């Protein structure tokens, strides 16, 4: 009987995490400094990419998402997906040059 309550609570936490979205991938819901489901290692092997809409995902997650869609749209806001940058580190380097 307590299971029902536990599951509802878990869903509430998951929904909140989804909305916060800043440091969690919107597709796999893993932290950006963590590993996407298909990734072997966090960090350089699991880069984070931004769309022009301002949403960010693991490169592997958005690539997989886009390849499964007929239209290239952000899974979050459904705007046309365009890569904004490969990540904050590279973006800084480009601005400096
Ligand atoms: Zn992801
Ligand atoms: Zn978006």
CA of 57 to the centre of ligand 2 (A): 10
Nearest ligand to residue 75 Cα: 2
Q: Find out whether 30 and 24 touch, Cβ atoms under 8 Å.
A: yes
Cα 3 to averaged position of ligand 1 atoms, centre (Å): 28
For residue 56, give both structure tokens: 């960010």
* CATH number for the segment(s) 2-96: 3.30.40.10
Q: Which ligand is nearest to the CA of 28?
A: 1
pLDDT band at 33 (very low <50, low <70, confident <90, very high): confident
Domain boundaries, the chain: 2-96
- Judge contact between 26 and 57, C-beta under 8 A: yes
Dihedral sign computed on CA atoms, order 29, 22, 18, 51: negative
What is the SS3 assignment for 79?
coil
More confident call, 9 vs 52: 52
Residue in this structure with the two tokens 């819901």, named with its chain if needed: 29
- For residue 4, pLDDT beyond 60: yes
Distance 92 CA to ligand 2 centre (A): 21
More confident residue, 29 or 13: 29
Beta-bridge mates of residue 85:
50
pLDDT 10s digits, 42-97: 556 678 888 999 899 988 899 999 999 999 999 999 999 999 855 454 444 455 44
């Amino acid at each position: 009987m307590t299971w029902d309550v536990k599951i509802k609570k878990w869903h509430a936490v998951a929904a909140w995490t989804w909305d916060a979205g800043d440091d969690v991938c919107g597709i796999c819901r893993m932290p950006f400094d963590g590993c996407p489901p298909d990734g072997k290692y966090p960090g350089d092997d699991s880069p984070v990419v931004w769309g022009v809409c301002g949403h960010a995902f693991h490169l592997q997650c958005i690539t997989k998402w886009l390849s499964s869609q007929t239209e290239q749209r952000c899974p979050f806001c459904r705007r046309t997906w365009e890569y904004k940058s490969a990540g904050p580190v590279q973006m800084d380097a480009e601005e400096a040059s």
